Amino acid sequence: MKKLAETMRNTKSWSKLLLLVLTYAIIHLLIIFGIIQDFQQITLTTICINIILAVSLNLITGFTGQFSLGHAGFMSIGAYTCALITMRMPTIPGFILGLVAGAVAAAIVGILVGLPTLRLRGDYLAIATLGMSEIIRIVFLNLNITNGAAGLSGIPQFVNWPWLFVFTAGTILLIVNFLKSSHGRACISIREDEIAAEAMGINTTKYKVTAFAIGAFCAGIAGALYASYFFFIKPTTFNFQKSVDVLVMVVLGGMGSVSGSVLAAILLALISTFLQSFSELRMVIYSLILIIIMIFRPQGLMGSKELSLSMLSKLGSKFSFRKGRV
Amino acid sequence: MEQFLQQIINGISLGSIYALVALGYTMVYGIIKLINFAHCDIYMIGAYVGYFCMTFLGIGFVPSLLAAMAVCTVLGVTIEKIAYKPLRNATRIAVLITAIGVSLFLEYGTMFFVKAQVRSYPPLTGLLAETLRLGNISVPMLQVLILAITVILMLLLQFIVNKTKIGKAMRAVSMDQDAAELMGINVDTTISFTFALGSALAGAAGILVGIYYNSINPLMGVLPGLKSFVAAVFGGIGIIPGAMIGGYIIGIVEVLISGYINSMYRDAFVFAILILILILKPAGLLGKNTREKV
Amino acid sequence: MPILTVKKLTKNFGGLAAVSNVSLELEQGELVGLIGPNGAGKTTVFNLLTGVYKPTSGTITLHTNGTDKPIQGLKPYKVCEMGIARTFQNIRLFKDLTVLDNVRIAMHKNVKYGLAASFLRLPSCQKEEQELVERSMELLKIMKLDHKKDELARNLPYGEQRHLEIARALATNPSLLLLDEPAAGMNPAETAQLTEVISWIRNQFKLTILLIEHDMSLVMKICERIYVLDYGQVIASGTPEEVRTNKRVIEAYLGEDVNNA
């Protein structure tokens, strides 16, 4: 019995690995053969960056229950740090250094901001993080080194599909592993009932700050990837609207569902690309879609469930069963 | 000293506008615990209605003000009925996302119809164009008007909330929705009425800001909206006098920082004050700290 | 040998003294009841003992492993780390998590692997996770919840939720267990079964137990000593028999017959 369970677990992790490799290879081939062209590659990059942002915000808001509206702030720290470093060291080691430095800087700011503000609950925390993120933006807007409102341009470009894949898949994997561990469960218990969690020996402040730091770290990575791919950043890129966009992905996908966040990030990027041809009406349609989804599915696409391979196969068999009956 | 007083007077004008908008945030939050992100866009719509009335219809300031308030009232109630009411039992974050959706819809919908360009209010004429001189301080009549209208509206609001039956219902629903319903209060009507009041005030603020700064655009509501919300939190969210005091304090602080420190950092200061007050006194100036019962 | 000594514990909320000058002493291995009319301050005493509230004055000393440690004013998770676990009067389970997760979370304070191991799911993490599951299942078996390990806590019937709260408290590996109205809302049969479970876990885990309870059949049956609280003060203490016949206690219960209350 135990052996069977183990084999099953092994098959499961093997099939997951296979799926990852396949995803990578297929998209890589599509790029090589020019089926995915430059324009679609922009969408692909946006999807990857949005996945990192949404999954990491979901860790903070969906799993740990700390309502944050400051993700754009952490992203901007990663973006500016990486940009400033790679502009002085335009090499691959320079880029890696910039990326790591950006992520670490974002995590440090996350801890510094988190320590005093994470005592706040619900909307108060959201407003405090929003304020923090606006302060960061205004600082970048006024510093000489960041070139003010004009922003930084000519950032050396290193990011391509392999980089994107490694960081996106890596972020998802590490966060999923974390959530399955005792530390991750400690975070989730805070969302469920903070008072009970603390009575059961969970240092709630420590785990809130931990979740916040991990989330900020990943947002820093996303920012660094953004800066390097789009080679141009300015403070308004990381305004309040950006934080809201990420929150929308999290809620739309389902709070507390990693696969939901991934789905929502892909879906919203596709919708946004598709709507580009409507130019002026783009945002109007986007906002209507948002309102309609929330009215008819307030728990998000996935609720708090995860998409799994077994669920897909179940869905498949249901479908074929139906077809058989017809 | 004169310069300082002059700055304070400017701060009061700006604060009046923040206070009017903050009242809408605070009342809606008080009653359904929602940060109504669309509120700042109602204020923007108010500014456009005023612009339309004064420029194209050529009617005077007071009828335009009333028209802006009326249109915003209808708009606010409609939004509540269509977008928020179906989500009465959903999680608060779902309603918040809906509010963000409504906000984007109003902003970009307006942009679609009137285009993104900045528009100017017609120049003021007659008494409103005059300037009052008190010693070395000059006070444009416009600023007197803004303060006068704000004070009148606030007194009216205080009267409605404290002395009328529907005001009593509002207070009851904000304390305990279920209990209020059991006592025979029509919760839906009360919530709609709250939106109506807040939206009317935002409409008034919109036209006032239009004549004060003389330029409007479809995204004009975003930043003042955030700062008004800060004002509401500062004073103690859900508390009506708190929003008024908060609005004036934020307005005056902002003007003083622009005047004496660095205008580029004025918004950063406003948000820093917000974070400080949240950490030191999360319930705001007039709020009482509550504790969860274990 | 005492395990917990409480001296002159006082808590004021504004002008109201919810608990005043309460002194208690619990001996190692004792099963003690804390009773009193509604609003007497029983739960407040629990909240003071577990760090949810900071006392206005007074001391709480825990004697474990041959040392005396003052614990008043410590944060709840610290108090839990020192070996005091509790349940809640108004059940506070992690409702949207499984029964197994509820218990596993309470074992977190003894987990040794670090953040890095959890990110990479290193063997140290996997091995310890396996042990957590095994230990949790043992506790669930004791509370007869093992067959429901994958059920969400919110879907359990009321009585089982109370049992799960006890299992979760035991998972923190306490030396002192505080039970806040464990039998509230249970029918007589369920209460009788719970009574047995409580005595059994006390012996099995060598626990000291302090329990708040309104169900006098349970209190009189298993408590070796009882403290009676009224208006925030201890008005009587002693064996069930002594308390039962105490005049002040009877008055406190407004003349109600304590036997049938």
For the cut 70, the answer to whether the pLDDT of residue A8 exceeds it is no
pLDDT tier at A15, thresholds 50, 70, 90: confident
A196 touches chain C (CB under 8 A): yes
pLDDT tier at A9, thresholds 50, 70, 90: low
Nearest Cα to C180, choosing from C201, C167, C166? C166
B285 touches chain A (CB under 8 A): no
pLDDT for C92 equals 96
Whether residues A201 and C104 touch (CB distance < 8 A) is answered with no
pLDDT for A4 equals 59
Rounded Cα gap, residues C142 and C151, in angstroms: 17
The amino acid at residue B114 is: V
Contacts of A35 (CB under 8 A, 6+ apart): none
Mutate to test the interface with A, among C77, C97, C112, C125 (most CBs of A within 10 A): C77
Residues of chain C below pLDDT 70 = 254-261
C80: enclosing H helix or E strand? helix C76-81
C166, two tokens: 């006890």
A34-to-A163, A166, A269 alpha-carbon distances in Å: 19, 21, 21
Mutate to test the interface with B, among A123, A146, A248 (most CBs of B within 10 A): A123
Measured in angstroms, the CA of B85 and the nearest CA of chain C are apart by: 26
Q: Which residue of A has its CA nearest to B112?
A: A280
Of C81, C92, C119, which has the smallest distance from its Cβ to A201's Cβ? C81
Percent of chain C as helix, strand, coil, to the nearest 5: 40, 25, 30
Chains with at least 3 CB pairs less than 8 angstroms from chain A: B, C
pLDDT for C25 equals 94
| Distance from chain centroid for Cα A54 | 3
The amino acid at residue B220 is: M
- The tens digit of pLDDT for each residue in A213-235 reads 999 999 999 999 999 999 999 99
- The tens digit of pLDDT for each residue in B72-88 reads 999 999 999 999 999 98
How many residue pairs bridge chain A and chain C with CB atoms within 8 Å of each other? 102
Contact B156, B240 (CB under 8 A): no
Mutate to test the interface with A, among B271, B273, B274, B294 (most CBs of A within 10 A): B271
C131, two tokens: 């042990």
C95 touches chain A (CB under 8 A): yes
Of B33, B275, B282, which has the smallest distance from its Cβ to A131's Cβ? B275
| Distance from chain centroid for Cα A21 | 21
Where are the domains positioned within chain A?
37-239
For the cut 60, the answer to whether the pLDDT of residue A319 exceeds it is no
The amino acid at residue C38 is: N
B101 touches chain A (CB under 8 A): yes
Mutate to test the interface with A, among B35, B80, B102, B104 (most CBs of A within 10 A): B104
C28, two tokens: 């190692």
Whether residues C108 and A185 touch (CB distance < 8 A) is answered with yes
A183 touches chain C (CB under 8 A): yes
How many residue pairs bridge chain B and chain C with CB atoms within 8 Å of each other? 4
Measured in angstroms, the CA of A128 and the nearest CA of chain B are apart by: 5
C47 touches chain A (CB under 8 A): no
Contacts of B159 (CB under 8 A, 6+ apart): none
Of C77, C97, C118, which has the smallest distance from its Cβ to A192's Cβ? C97
Q: Write out chain A in H/E/C secondary structure.
A: CHHHHHHHHHHHHHHHHHHHHHHHHHHHHHHHCCCCCHHHHHHHHHHHHHHHHHHHHHHHHHHCCCCCCCHHHHHHHHHHHHHHHHHHCCCHHHHHHHHHHHHHHHHHHHHHHHHHHCCCCHHHHHHHHHHHHHHHHHHHHHCCCCCHHHCEECCCCCCCHHHHHHHHHHHHHHHHHHHHCHHHHHHHHHHHCHHHHHHCCCCHHHHHHHHHHHHHHHHHHHHHHHHHHHCEECHHHHCHHHHHHHHHHHHHHCCCCHHHHHHHHHHHHHHHHHHHHHHHHHHHHHHHHHHHHHHHCCCCCCCCCCCCHHHHHHHHHHHHHHHHHC
Measured in angstroms, the CA of A290 and the nearest CA of chain B are apart by: 6
Measured in angstroms, the CA of B101 and the nearest CA of chain A are apart by: 5
Q: What angle do CA B44, B250, B124 make, to 5 degrees?
A: 45
For the cut 60, the answer to whether the pLDDT of residue A322 exceeds it is no
Residues of A in Cβ contact (< 8 Å) with B87: 294-295, 298
B219 touches chain A (CB under 8 A): no
Measured in angstroms, the CA of A81 and the nearest CA of chain B are apart by: 20
Residues of C in Cβ contact (< 8 Å) with A199: 50, 52, 76-77, 80, 85-86, 88, 92
- The tens digit of pLDDT for each residue in B208-229 reads 999 898 889 999 998 899 899 9
Measured in angstroms, the CA of A46 and the nearest CA of chain B are apart by: 21
Rounded Cα gap, residues C162 and C227, in angstroms: 23
- From the DSSP assignment, how many helices (H) and strands (E) are in chain B? 11, 4
Beta bridge partners of A233: A152
Q: Which of helix, strand or coil describes residue C86?
A: strand
The amino acid at residue B237 is: I
Q: What number is the average pLDDT over the span B121-131?
A: 79
Of A116, A135, A295, which has the smallest distance from its Cβ to B272's Cβ? A135
Residues of B in Cβ contact (< 8 Å) with A248: 97, 100
Whether residues B278 and A127 touch (CB distance < 8 A) is answered with yes
Q: Which residue of B has its CA nearest to C43?
A: B294
Whether residues A284 and B108 touch (CB distance < 8 A) is answered with yes
The amino acid at residue A276 is: Q
pLDDT tier at B278, thresholds 50, 70, 90: confident
C167 touches chain A (CB under 8 A): no
Percent of chain B as helix, strand, coil, to the nearest 5: 75, 5, 20
B91 touches chain A (CB under 8 A): yes
Residues of C in Cβ contact (< 8 Å) with B294: 43, 47, 52, 88
C47 touches chain B (CB under 8 A): yes
When the candidates are 3.40.190.10, 3.40.30.10, 3.40.50.300, 3.30.70.20, the CATH number that belongs to C2-83+174-260 is 3.40.50.300
In terms of pLDDT, which residue wins out, A206 or B294?
A: A206
pLDDT for A255 equals 92
Q: Which of helix, strand or coil describes residue B173?
A: helix
For the cut 80, the answer to whether the pLDDT of residue A323 exceeds it is no
For the cut 70, the answer to whether the pLDDT of residue A1 exceeds it is no
Nearest Cα to B243, choosing from B258, B222, B228, B265? B228
Measured in angstroms, the CA of A111 and the nearest CA of chain C are apart by: 16
Residue B49 buriedness (CB in 10 A; 0-12 / 13-18 / 19+)? buried
Backbone angles phi, psi at C174, to 5 degrees: -85, 160
For the cut 80, the answer to whether the pLDDT of residue A105 exceeds it is yes
Rounded Cα gap, residues C113 and C115, in angstroms: 7
C177 touches chain A (CB under 8 A): no
pLDDT tier at A325, thresholds 50, 70, 90: very low
**Mean pLDDT for all residues in chain A:** 89
Whether residues A240 and B222 touch (CB distance < 8 A) is answered with yes
- The tens digit of pLDDT for each residue in B240-274 reads 999 999 999 999 999 999 888 888 888 898 899 88
Residues of B in Cβ contact (< 8 Å) with A283: 104, 107-108, 111
For the cut 90, the answer to whether the pLDDT of residue A40 exceeds it is no
Residues on chain B bordering chain C, Cβ-to-Cβ distance under 8 angstroms: 294
pLDDT for B154 equals 93
Of C111, C121, C168, which has the smallest distance from its Cβ to A200's Cβ? C168
Rounded Cα gap, residues C32 and C224, in angstroms: 6
pLDDT tier at A324, thresholds 50, 70, 90: very low
Measured in angstroms, the CA of B280 and the nearest CA of chain C are apart by: 19
C184, two tokens: 């509230």
Residues of C in Cβ contact (< 8 Å) with A202: 77, 105, 108-109
Residue A127 buriedness (CB in 10 A; 0-12 / 13-18 / 19+)? buried
For the cut 50, the answer to whether the pLDDT of residue A326 exceeds it is no
Which is it for strands B215-216 and B137-140: parallel, antiparallel or unpaired?
Answer: unpaired
pLDDT tier at B292, thresholds 50, 70, 90: low
pLDDT tier at A315, thresholds 50, 70, 90: low
Residues of C in Cβ contact (< 8 Å) with A185: 97, 101, 104-105, 108
Percent of chain A residues topping a pLDDT of 90: 63
Residue with tokens 């509002």: B170
C88 touches chain A (CB under 8 A): yes
Contact A36, A71 (CB under 8 A): no
Mutate to test the interface with C, among A17, A179, A185, A206 (most CBs of C within 10 A): A185
What secondary structure letter does DSSP report for C98?
A: B
Residues on chain A bordering chain B, Cβ-to-Cβ distance under 8 angstroms: 61, 67, 116-117, 119-120, 122-124, 126-128, 130-132, 134-135, 138-139, 141-142, 195, 240, 244, 247-248, 251-252, 255, 280-284, 286-288, 290-291, 294-295, 298-300
